[in-house]
Amino acid sequence: MIWIHIIADLKKINFRKLELTENTLKTFISTSLKEVWLTELWNHYHTFTNPDEITWVIALAESHITFHTWPEKDYISLDIFVCNIENNNSNKAKALYQEFIAFVHPWEIEEQIIERRS
């Protein structure tokens, strides 16, 4: 069995242009998850003093997504992990990742796409 784990450092993001808020993120993620057929079980969002400083954890039936923003550093860390027990969800995770990149428009990306095996 192979699972896919995507870990990305998204850098040089223009937060002023992005106008990132808790509501825009929730709408984006909810829509994106439905489009790629991943199942959200629950989530926890936390917005810090600066409205662009957001930490968020989403539990999926298929595993999880985490997201943390540092607008003062023009940086977002992203972690998407999916299992492939009942279905092969690797392409769904990769599609979600590409949608996320298109949404935040980083100028620089450092990524690791790890195939985990049981």
Backbone φ and ψ of 114, nearest 5°: -110, 130
| Residues forming the active site | 63, 68, 83
Q: Helices marked H in the chain — which ranges?
A: 15-18, 22-36, 90-104
Distance of CA 8 to the CA centre of its chain: 9
Catalogue the long-range contacts made by 25-29 (C-beta closer than 8 Å, 24 or more residues apart).
25/54, 25/56, 25/67, 28/103, 29/56, 29/58, 29/65
Instruction: Output the six-digit token pair for 49.
Output: 């003093």
